[in-house]
């Protein structure tokens, strides 16, 4: 049970936190059956102040997320997102040996309109590893650590794009590979989606300060980094 949200940065205008896996930012139509406390609930109870999310992360994704402290501050920060002046970097663990680098530009369907919208993700493979654990239909299992930079912000964009290049995220039961998900669950007791909003950087619109925030990896990530001998 989550009791404390890790605060990464705070000033008079914003508060930036490290979102845990499997926590909704706020209640929504897409997760209407989930009744657990939201990230907003937990954070507002912790700091005893209203907050307003400036962007979104999927419930299953962990990492950096920014909240405004007043509604009046929202437009200035949203301009940064609209003008692509905020750099977001994600980390993922994917099935197989992903290409060294590249871009994925497959359109992504909007769940409301059911129409496809342009989407672009840049990626770079940072490391890879072969486990001597068979995963159907192979006698071994291969994994890669991948850095992802989304240039658009479509719902489930990174998860869909990695599926499109046949390197789905481990722990993704909607777009991923159930055999590899079970490998992590059964052999390493890791049940979360391995997608983490690792870093976010921008120029503060009020103070003009250069902000670069890194969200520490959680225990599941640390466990698998130890198993694979990876580091950042």
pTM: 0.94
- Average pLDDT (143-170) is 96
Count other Cβ atoms within 10 Å, centred on residue 206: 12
Q: What is the dihedral of CA 205, 206, 211, 214, to 10 degrees?
A: -90
pLDDT in the model for residue 69? 97
Give the DSSP H or E segment for 28.
Answer: none
pLDDT in the model for residue 27? 63
Distance between CA atoms of residues 137 and 163, nearest Å:
18
Distance between CA atoms of residues 134 and 42, nearest Å:
40
Q: Given a cut of 80, is residue 1 above it in pLDDT?
A: no
Q: Given a cut of 70, is residue 29 above it in pLDDT?
A: no
Least confident of 34-48, 60-74, 145-159: 34-48
The question of whether 172 is a catalytic residue gets the answer no
CA-based nearest residue to 196, from 44, 66, 88: 88
Q: Two tokens at 109?
A: 């369907």
Residue 34 — pLDDT band, cuts 50, 70, 90? low
CA-based nearest residue to 42, from 3, 71, 9: 3
| Catalytic option among 12, 36, 41, 58 | 58
Sorted by where each begins, the domain ranges of the chain are 6-228
pLDDT in the model for residue 3? 73
CATH number given to 6-228: 3.30.2350.10
Percent of the chain residues past pLDDT 70, beyond the cut: 96
């Amino acid at each position: 049970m989550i009791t404390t949200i890790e605060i990464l940065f705070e000033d008079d205008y914003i508060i930036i936190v490290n979102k845990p896996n499997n926590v909704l930012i706020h209640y929504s139509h897409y997760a209407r059956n989930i009744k657990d406390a939201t990230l907003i609930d937990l954070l507002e109870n912790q700091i005893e102040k209203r907050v307003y999310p400036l962007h979104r992360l999927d419930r299953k994704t962990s990492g950096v997320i920014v909240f405004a402290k007043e509604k009046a501050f929202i437009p200035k920060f949203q301009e940064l997102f609209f003008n692509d002046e905020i750099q977001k970097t994600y980390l993922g663990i994917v099935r197989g040996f992903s290409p060294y680098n590249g871009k994925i530009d497959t359109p992504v369907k909007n769940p409301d309109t059911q129409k496809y919208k342009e989407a672009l993700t840049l990626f770079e493979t940072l490391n890879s590893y072969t486990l001597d654990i068979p995963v159907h239909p192979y006698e071994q299992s291969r994994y890669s650590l991948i850095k992802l930079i989304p240039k658009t912000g479509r719902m489930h964009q990174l998860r869909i794009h990695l599926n499109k290049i046949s390197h789905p995220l481990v722990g993704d039961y909607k777009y991923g590979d159930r055999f590899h998900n079970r490998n992590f669950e059964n052999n390493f007791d890791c049940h979360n989606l391995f997608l983490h909003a690792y870093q976010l950087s921008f120029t503060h619109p009020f103070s003009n300060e250069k902000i670069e925030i890194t969200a520490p990896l959680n225990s599941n990530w640390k466990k698998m980094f130890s198993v694979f001998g990876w580091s950042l």
